[in-house]
A = this chain, B = another copy of it.
Amino acid sequence: MTTLTMENPVFVIYMVAAALMVLKIMLQGWMTVYRMLKSNSGLASLEDLQVGIINKDPKPEQLEINDYVDRSRRMHRNDLENIPAFLVCGLLFVVTGPTIMMAKILLWGFVGARVLHAISYATKQTHEVRATFYTIGSFIVIVMAVLVLQAGIKLL
């Protein structure tokens, strides 16, 4: 039985969730770029202090850490700690043949949790709020990984 095709409704749910999460990672990069340009700081490399279209009046302070820019980099790092594992684990979860209801709860639950985590982080909500959404997303990936592991171990 082949499950990784668009004829499988569970795979379609995964496709939509995965595409949204890929967009989340990529757009986080552009949020960092936007914040670097807007604040004219938070640059990463010495050569970025050359005069150019992006940087018309370079100053050494532009290399210092700026929370406005660094917050977007921390959000990005948090994405990298969660989303790639979700993307692969979600694909394997589809192969195990879950019900549509189960797939919707776990896959869309993860997307929702990560969107709310990003909003909490960007708007500087308390640690408790951000941690709650992080926890939901993390637990969903752990549950999917355990389901994949169980399905695999049975067949070894």
- Residues on A lying within 8 angstroms of B by beta carbon are 1-7, 9, 11-13, 15-16, 18-20, 22-23, 25-30, 33, 43-48, 50, 52-55, 67, 71, 74, 76, 80-85, 87-89, 91-92, 95-96, 121, 124-128, 131, 134, 138, 141-142, 144-146, 148-149, 151-153, 155-156
Cα distance A152–B20 in the bound complex, in angstroms: 11
The docked-state distance in angstroms from the alpha carbon of A66 to that of B26 is 28
Q: A47 to B15, Cβ gap below 8 A?
A: no
Q: Are B22 and A85 closer than 8 Å at their CB atoms?
A: yes
Residues of B within 8 A of A153 (CB): 16
Cβ A15 vs Cβ B148 within 8 A: yes
**Complex: A42 Cα to B2 Cα, angstroms:** 47
- Oligomeric state, in copies: 3
- Chain B residue numbers with a CB within 8 Å of A33 are 131
A11 to B155, CA, bound (A): 10
Give me 14 other A-B pairs in contact (C-beta within 8 A), A53-B128, A84-B87 excluded.
A4-B95, A6-B152, A12-B156, A16-B152, A18-B148, A19-B92, A23-B145, A23-B149, A29-B138, A45-B71, A46-B67, A52-B127, A54-B127, A80-B84
